[in-house]
Amino acid sequence: MDIRKPTDSELKKIMLLSPQAIYDGTLGEVLPSNEKTEHLIATLLEKGSYYLIATHNDKLMGWILIGASKDQFTDMMNGFIYELFVIEEFRGNGISTRLMGAAIDCLRQDGYSEIRLSAFAGNQAIQLYNKMGFSIRTVAMSLTL
C-alpha cells in the first residue's frame, strides 16, 4: 500500500465520493450535495489543507484530509484532521490506522504541536482515535426542539 498526495484525477474521484464520506461520518445525518461538498473542500484546499490517499496498484482505497485550524479562544493554530474515509470494500485492513499515522507525521513535520479532529458521537472511528492517543477535549451537545 502506498500513501501519498493524490493526482488531479484521483482528487476528482475523491470529490465524487466525499458526499458519501460525509454521510457515513455523520452516521446518516448529513448528505450534502456535490456542489456543497466541492465548496467546503475547495475552501479548505485554498487555505493549505491537503489530502493523503491510500492506494494499491493505483486503486484508490481511502483518504484523509488534513490542514490547520485556529483555536477560537487562543487563536493558536493546530493541525486538524477534517476527513478520514476508507472505501467500503477495503475496510478492516488497517488502512485508517496507516492514513492516521501518515497524517500525524505530516502535521508534525508541518510544525504543529497539537492535532485536533471532530467526530459524531457513536462513530466507530472514535475507537481508532482513542487508540492513537487522541482524547476528548470538548463536547458539543444539542437539544432537538
What confidence tier does 53 reach under pLDDT thresholds 50, 70, 90? very high
Rounded to the nearest angstrom, the gap between the alpha carbon of residue 139 and the centroid of all alpha carbons in its chain is 19
pLDDT at residue 27 greater than cutoff 80? no
pLDDT at residue 8 greater than cutoff 90? yes
Q: How many residues does the chain have?
A: 145
Give the burial class of 107: count Cβ atoms within 10 A of its Cβ; 0-12 exposed, 13-18 middle, 19 or more buried. buried
pLDDT at 29 (0 to 100): 76
Q: Is residue 87 part of a domain?
A: yes
Alpha helices in the chain (DSSP H): 8-25, 34-46, 95-109, 125-131
Q: Tally the domains of the chain.
A: 1
Q: Is residue 144 part of a domain?
A: no
Q: Is residue 138 part of a domain?
A: no
Largest CA distance in the chain: 50
CATH number of domain containing 100: 3.40.630.30
Q: Which phi and psi angles does 104 have, rounded to 5°?
A: -60, -45
pLDDT at residue 104 greater than cutoff 80? yes
Of residues 51 and 119, the one with the higher pLDDT is: 51
pLDDT at 100 (0 to 100): 98
Q: Is residue 136 part of a domain?
A: no
Q: Is residue 105 part of a domain?
A: yes
Q: Is residue 142 part of a domain?
A: no
Q: Is residue 60 part of a domain?
A: yes
Q: Structural domain of residue 32, as residue ranges?
A: 2-131
pLDDT at 26 (0 to 100): 78
pLDDT tens digits, 58-71: 899 999 999 999 98
What confidence tier does 121 reach under pLDDT thresholds 50, 70, 90? confident
Residues 9-33 have a mean pLDDT of: 85
- Which residue bears the cell 485554498? 46
Please report the DSSP string for 77-115 in residue order.
EEEEEEEEEE-GGGTTSSHHHHHHHHHHHHHHHTT-S-E
Q: Is residue 90 part of a domain?
A: yes
